[in-house]
Amino acid sequence: MTAFPFSFRWPAWVTGCIAGAGLALAAPTMAAAQTYRGVNLAGAAYSSNKLPGRYGYDYLYPKPAEVDYFTQAGMNTFRLSVLWERLQPTLNGPLDEKELQRVSQFIAYAQAHNASTVLDIHNYGRYRGQEVGSSDVPDAAFADLWARLAQAFGNNTHVLFGLMNEPQQHAADAWKNAVQAAIDAIRKAGGHNLILVPGIGWDGAHSFTKLNGPALSQLHDPDNKLLYEVHEYFDTDASGTKPDCIAPDRAVDRLRGFTDWLHANHARGFLGEFGVSRQPECVKLLDPVLSHLRDNADVWAGWTYWAAGPLWGNYMFTLEPDHGADRPQMTAIRPFLAGGTH
């Protein structure tokens, strides 16, 4: 990531609305399609090799203009990637007040624009390189993080708890135990938010049923507010690293097995990451993919495209507008947003 020599300040009124926004604002307007429709906004998890890093140089939070552009287009959800180590510098210790304030300010501004925030711990199942579930980072430490976040945001229905981005645990059964500990901690702390549950194996939708389904189907939530989060990219190896893509019918096939699993388990899902390059044949994939999600909205709660934010530059997947103009992918997505026609 390029260093940026600035320090961004939010408008003063945003800080004042943090506490009261949850009481004063109505819930987001929901279109007939997906409940949650949005984008990943990157920046706060940048420079993960620099901890805690310098705010405004090594990492930064999305600016209000980013929220403005996407909410005006009809999006109502932002997946906000943050780092565990910045939020909680010491395991089982207090949350960092400045970092928590930055998160709170973003949530408040998004909420003021009738948008929800997925609070995404973007750590791949690790804390300072050590695996969750190990002796160095026991499940109880992961649960402690989420108990503290539930105390901070547990009364805000506009905040969804994304437990962990793409956990790299060695087995789904081991990861299940960490997830259950976090769910229990959130509910014990009084949090009633929706909880997004990811799976191992890069959280792939195409592999979820076999790799994660048997273990994660055993989870219990007294509030019955779990969303199973998956990611899916549409290049040949599903890595999201190549500009080329597979055929449109094959793209939907990568989702269909997970959709069937959701129906069979009376569960609900969330496509937390997906993206295509600007090549015309790849942009065309967005129509069948989003149509599949919309047509199965009884089990697909929503989606957040990967990704946007000015730090991405000319990244092949970006939705960040190009000098004010929509990217080709954004043009394809607009019909599936609130007020869009399709």
Q: Which of 63, 96, 97, 95 is nearest to 80 (CA)?
A: 63
With a CB cutoff of 8 Å and minimum separation 6, the contacts of 112 are 14, 17, 21, 25
Q: Which of 85, 232, 273, 320 is catalytic?
A: 273
> What's 53's DSSP letter?
-
Is 166 a residue of the active site?
A: yes
**Element counts in the chain: helices (H) and strands (E):** 13, 10
Is 273 a residue of the active site?
A: yes
**DSSP H or E run through 9:** none
Q: Which of 85, 131, 166, 229 is catalytic?
A: 166
> E strands within the chain?
36-41, 77-82, 116-121, 126-127, 130-131, 159-162, 195-197, 226-233, 269-275, 300-308
Q: At what angle do helices 286-295 and 248-264 cross, to 10 degrees?
A: 20
Using DSSP's 3-state secondary structure scheme, residue 237 falls into: coil
What residues are labeled active site?
A: 166, 273
